[in-house]
Structure 1
């Protein structure tokens, strides 16, 4: 978990996107939305996709129950959290509030 602390304790917002591989339709759509967010915001945000099946301890520690779940951290503090698929423009608007 110490690496996780280092990952989220940065100046720019960090958007974590929790997903799993078995739901291909949702995963593909959400990955495209995240790609659009990263392309639009560039180096103003760090976008990180986290497979819950490969990161079970982290998912459990953050109480990830619904996929996808998006969380924004800034300076190590959780600023926003939303479960369920989100449109790229909605995600961009939420992240921009913390830039």
Structure 2
């Protein structure tokens, strides 16, 4: 990951952030759907995984109290947020209106 978090979410493209933890069972269960989403969306959407245990400042700033938490940003604005595992159709629904 290059650039600051603020630079990444300032993108003209939607940016889907997966706040996760290595020890999180639902995070691991969701990983294949997230990878398939990234593969299908290609260049239209940036997908970034952020380990909350390695990024406590971001966890505090965005008040991430449970993982996984999925957030969608575009041009620096938060457009979507949901805690809990999401499967491929839900991920697409979260981003589709912002393409």
TM-score range, shorter chain: over 0.9
Q: How many residues align?
A: 97
Match of 1:8 in 2: 9
Superposed counterparts of 1:1-99, under 5 Å: 3-23=4-24, 25-99=25-99
Tell me the CA shift for residue 27 of structure 1: 2.4
Deviant stretches of 4+, over 4 Å: none
- Shift of residue 55, structure 1, vs aligned partner: 0.3
In structure 1, stretches of 5+ residues that fail to align are none
Q: TM-score, normalised by structure 2?
A: 0.92
Equivalent-residue separation in structure 1 for 2:91 and 2:64 (angstroms): 18
- Let me know the Cα RMSD of the aligned residues: 1.2
Structure 2 unaligned regions, length at least 5: none
TM-score (ref. length: structure 1): 0.92
Q: Would the aligned equivalents of 2:18 and 2:71 in 1 still touch at CA under 8 Å?
A: yes
